[in-house]
Amino acid sequence: MAKSKTVFFCKECGYESAKWLGQCPGCKEWDTFTEEPVIKKSSKPAGVRQFREPELISNIKTEAEIRLTSGMEELDRVLGGGIVQGSLVLVGGDPGIGKSTLLLQMCREIVLRNKKVLYISGEESLSQIKMRAERLGVINGELLLLCETDLDLIDDVISKCRPDIVVIDSIQTMFREDVTAAPGSVSQVREATGALMRIAKGSGITIFIIGHVTKEGVVAGPRVLEHMVDTVLYFEGDNYAAYRVLRAVKNRFGSTNEIGVFEMQNSGLVEVKNPSEFMLKGRPEGEPGSIVAASMEGSRPILVEVQALVCRTNFNMPRRTAAGTDYNRVNLLMAVLEKREGIQMSDCDAYVNVAGGMRITEPALDLAIVTALLSSSKNIALDNKTVLFGEVGLTGEIRAVNMAEQRVAEAAKMGFEICILPQANKDHIKKAGIKLIGVKNIQEVLGILMNRR
C-alpha cells in the first residue's frame, strides 16, 4: 500500500517544508513544525486566462464602506465605527474570557434592528446556546442557530438563509472533507478560513470567527490566519478581575489603537462608559507609592493608578517585579534614578504594579513609575489630587508625549487639581482647567516630592 505524502507546516507562520526543521526559516521560531498530509487539489481542466491591464490610481473610484451598528458603542469604537459589510473578523481570547458571550450579545442587538443573524457553533448544542441567550436577556428577532462543523454544509445553509451576519464558534472545530488533516490542524484552519473569506467577499455577508489562543496568548493555528482576515480583535482580561478589554491588533477599516472596556456581570457584559472612574475605584489616599497616571489607549484617555513598593533586601540579588507594565522598562528607570540622582536602588527590592489589571506599556507612564518609586523610597505621599504623565530619558530628562491636552482634560473631568507634565507639553496647552506644573528632569520631580515632606 502506497504511503500518503506529507509535508511539514510551521504552526506560527504557515511556512511549508518537505522535512522537519528545528527552527522555522520564516518566523525564526523554534520547534513549531508539525507533520500533516498534503491537500489534494481537484483536477480541473485549465481555462483560458484573461489578461487584465493595470489601472491608474487616479482613475479608480472609491466608495464609502457600508457599516452596520452593533448596538454596542464599545464594540463599534474598536471596529472603527461599526461593522463593515462583507468583512471577515477574527475574535481571539483565553478560554472563558467571554468571547461567545460578547458575540451573542452583539447578535441580540443586531436582530433588534430587523437584521438576520446566523450563529453556527461547533462546540455547544442548541439547548446550551439557548440557555446562555436567556441569561443574557430576551432575544426577539431572526436569530438562527445551527450546530455544524462541515463547511460544505455550512456554505449551503448560508446560501439558503442569506443572513446579514454570521458567527462561527469556533474556527478550530470547522473542517472540510477534501482536507485529510484533523480539525484544528494548520491545514484545516487555513482552508476553513479561506472558504469563509470567499463566502464573505462573494456574498457581502459579514462573518465573525471565534478563535482559541495558545499559552503564549496568540490565536491558535498558523499566523497566516491573521493575515487573511480583515480585522483581528483580542478579548483580554484577568479571570480574577471584573473588567474585560477588547483590543484591535489589525483593522483594515479603522484604527488599531482603540480599545473597548466591558465589565462581566451575572447578566453578561456591560459596557464601561468611563474607564478612568472604573480603574480608580478603591484607590488609597495619602499612601506613599500610589500615583495616578494619565495614559492613552487610541484616542481615549484613561487614568490608572501606579503603585510601587521599595524596601531593603536581605539577599545578594534584589528582587524586581512588574505587573501591568514592561519589566525591563522598570529596571531601566531604576538605573536612571541611581545614576542621575544618586538614589541607592541596587540593594532594594522593587515591586511596581498598575492597579486593576490593566497592561500599559506606553512611554508616558515613565514619569508616574519614577515618582511612585521615589515616593515609596522616601516614604512621602503625593497629593491625592495630582496626576502625572511624561517620558523619562536615559539622561533623566522629561520628554514630551502625544495628546497632552486630552490627558489634561480627562484629569480635570475626574476632579484632579494638579497635573505634573513635561515642560514641552505645558508650553503648548492654552486652556487646561487645572493647575499645570511643567518639569524638565527628574531632579525637579524629586524637588516637588521633597516639598511634600
| Of 83, 109, 73, residue with least CA distance to 207 | 83
Give buried/exposed letters for 51-67 (b at 16+ CB in 10 A, else e).
Answer: eeeeeeeeeeeeeebeb
What single DSSP character describes residue 381?
A: P
Residue whose entry in the numeric block shows the C-alpha cell 480603574 = 279
396 carries a ligand binding annotation:
no
Q: Which three cell numbers stand for residue 331?
A: 529596571
Quickly count: other Cβ atoms within 10 Å of residue 376's Cβ: 24
**In the block, which residue shows the cell 504557515?**
14
Q: Are 441 and 396 in contact (CB under 8 A)?
A: yes
8 A C-beta contact, residue 450 and residue 380: yes
- Annotated binding residue 159: no
Residue 162: count of CB within 10 angstroms of its CB:
11
- What are the cell numbers at 10? 510551521
Q: Is 97 annotated as a binding residue?
A: yes
31 marked ligand binding residue:
no
Q: Are the C-beta atoms of residues 365 and 295 closer than 8 Å to each other?
A: yes
> Which among 262, 257, 281 has a CA at the least distance from the CA of 273?
262
d(CA 369, CA 308): 7
Asked if 435 and 326 count as a contact pair (C-beta separation under 8 A), the reply is: no
* End-to-end Cα, the chain, rounded Å: 86
Amino acid at 356: G
**Residue 32, SS3?**
coil
φ/ψ bin of 262: left (φ > 0), alpha (ψ from -120 to 50), beta (otherwise): beta
Was 163 annotated as part of a binding site? no
Q: Is 93 annotated as a binding residue?
A: yes
Binding residues: 93-100
Per the annotation, binding residues for ATP are 93-100
